[in-house]
Structure 1
């Protein structure tokens, strides 16, 4: 009995570890299993829908994986350091470009932010990078083009860079008045490995295949990226299949359709709690647009959700002081709303 009691505490951590590693796959399987019990026909249709959607997206998926693996193997993310030199206005523009266009790994963004601020880089330039980074990168551009369309991919890129410039400019104006002098929480270090990219940037090795270690990095990154994208896209396509089957088109059209400001405002707010991650959100928005969602509302959802999703917001909260966090959220929501509104006006021209 005592052996049983002493062994029980290990069950909890083991379950949490399995769920952390395989939770997304398990969620997809669980949804289909429950669906098979309640509505077998719909379960079969959903499985077919997922398979067809993954097959259709496969070329873009493979290209996206290749870009991510190439960035990791060559060290292209080291180029980010060059964005934070020069005048404040130049740094804001380059920071927004770096965040919106560079193939920088998502796991390194928060440590990098800590390093930049600890090294004295102006908060305006850091905020420009911070706001643009979660929205777009080359891999995301390819998948957005494949899942939605090229116009949406360009609009999302412009929105990412525009939000970065907008946020950086606002912070710059506030900083000139003496506000936001100490953005980091007490005890935040110098950014760890993410900060090393800025403190001592290494040269990019474009011909990475000549280096065994870099070839290994390419393979490891490609495999991890494949698993990450496959699990999230599978879950997203499962949810999209149910959305198309169960949510009447007229409901979506009445709430998120039309040409007014209301649908864009609703999509901006809904994007905060409903957003899973950038890759999973694409099929969901595609399904909603097929149901009648306005294009501007779709872009507002993607931008707002990308910057203010719960995991991203928690990371910012842990790093920055409350006034900086509040400013981050405010800039994100207002910028996402403006991006959606401009995109909707573009469609009316």
Structure 2
């Protein structure tokens, strides 16, 4: 147990890095980390470096595994399953695809055009931006393992239930016709060598880092501001655990934004540190990642309004329920 705790603190929470940044701020910049400016600088540098290190390592590892499951092979695997088993598999597949909501839509189109059940593709579409293996470790590094695992479980449950309900509603006619007409050739992909897989992992790291670096900097910057500059009384007045509407506000404030989970985690971290309920912070994070306005605009190009609003409503209600549940029982995980 002691060894696990030490590894968790040093490898995930990177306490060694926090101590190094503290020395830098105090001895080089001449600032105290207990004061606002010094604390903000420490929070920003530490979180940025930690997230980029973890993100790079995790994306590389996930991409290496993912190289064994190219789209054509994935379609064949998913095509063998129907009903709830297909929804579960679609949701699980989303956990190994480190994409934001907008990046997931082209895969959604590909799976739908390949003839996969609509419910399965929507389970994938919900889980892909919401839950992935990298987010599990990042959540554990910021909060703890119990919160990380609980978040993954509720995210997968939301994806499976959302896809199942859409399947039961038989909304296939509300997918734009060109999606079904966009058939892809079933081409067998050449077997990759270890060198190819390593190159693929490196390419994925660079590609995803290029897409998310700005959102990470913005997210950590906002987190640093909340953590050190906005009084706790102000945040509590709006999003305090005693406010019944805090989850609703957090969810709908997150929708117009566009970021992935890596950019929203530092904000959630700072909110919880200021006394905001765990469920409220997670609702904000889930609203940003699963229901961002840009992704809704992109999805509108491939599905008709009834299906779009059904998807939006199901996910929104699910996030709100999850938020209130975590606020009510969050003490179990902290």
Counterpart among 172, 182, 185 of residue 173 in structure 2:
182
State the match for 1:93 in structure 2. Answer: 88
1:229-248 deviations in Å (ceiling 9; x for gaps)? 44332222122222233322
1:122-168 deviations in Å (ceiling 9; x for gaps)? 22222222211110111222222223332332122112211112112
1:190-201 counterparts in 2 under 5 A?
A: 199-200=186-187
Shift of the 279–201 alpha-carbon distance from structure 1 to 2, 3 Å rule, reads farther
1:189-241 deviations in Å (ceiling 9; x for gaps)? 6568xx66xx4565875xx42x4x44332322233334444433222212222
Shift of the 260–97 alpha-carbon distance from structure 1 to 2, 3 Å rule, reads farther
Greater mean alpha carbon deviation, residues 275-284 or residues 80-89: 80-89
Shift of the 102–61 alpha-carbon distance from structure 1 to 2, 3 Å rule, reads closer
Counterpart among 312, 318, 324 of residue 329 in structure 1:
312
State the match for 1:170 in structure 2. Answer: 165
State the match for 1:50 in structure 2. Answer: 44
Do structure 1's residue 306 and structure 2's residue 276 form an aligned pair? no
Do structure 1's residue 244 and structure 2's residue 212 form an aligned pair? no
Shift of the 50–187 alpha-carbon distance from structure 1 to 2, 3 Å rule, reads same
Offset at residue 76 of structure 1 (A): 6.1
Offset at residue 181 of structure 1 (A): 3.5
Q: Distance in 2 between matches of 1:136 and 1:146?
A: 15
Contact 2:82 2:117 in 1 (8 A): no
Instruction: Select the structure of larger CA radius of gyration.
Output: 1
Contact 1:256 1:263 in 2 (8 A): yes
State the match for 1:221 in structure 2. Answer: 204
Q: Where in structure 2 are there 5+ consecutive unaligned residues?
A: 1-34
**Root-mean-square deviation (CA), in Å?**
2.9
Counterpart among 34, 58, 69 of residue 64 in structure 1:
58
Do structure 1's residue 113 and structure 2's residue 104 form an aligned pair? no
Shift of the 126–225 alpha-carbon distance from structure 1 to 2, 3 Å rule, reads closer
Offset at residue 281 of structure 1 (A): 0.4
Equivalenced residues, count: 296
Q: Where in structure 1 are there 5+ consecutive unaligned residues?
A: 1-40
Shift of the 203–284 alpha-carbon distance from structure 1 to 2, 3 Å rule, reads farther
Offset at residue 293 of structure 1 (A): 0.9
Contact 1:70 1:218 in 2 (8 A): yes
